Amino acid sequence: MATKPMTKTQLVAALAEKMEADKKTAGAALDSLVEIITSEVSAGGAVTLPGVGKIYCRERPERMVRNPATGDQFKKEADKQVKMTIAKALKDSVNA
């Protein structure tokens, strides 16, 4: 059974320990990283995190979809979807 995901507070604490810095500095570093990734992917770019994976934005075309409750079909406008490809190194370490 899977455990609960790590919270932001736990992540900041672990990052502070690895960086040998205080939690405020680690929190600011994490927030800056999230902001950079968000702005780059929003602009249509991609961000590669070595050893983790690649985060990018994929455009989906206009398409016909069905409401499962009523069975009605309708046209869904084109939109964008954020995707992440996991790095082989991370897959291998999980499966080891």
Q: Which of 39, 70, 48, 44 is nearest to 58 (CA)?
A: 44
pLDDT tens readout for residues 18-44: 999 999 999 999 999 999 999 999 999
Q: Each residue of 45-67: pLDDT tens digit?
A: 999 999 999 999 999 999 999 99
Mean per-residue pLDDT, 92-96: 90
Coil/strand/helix, residue 78: coil
Residue 58: closest CA among 83, 38, 39, 36: 83
List domains and CATH numbers for the chain: 7-43 (no CATH), 44-96 (4.10.520.10)
Confidence of residue 2 (pLDDT cuts 50, 70, 90): low
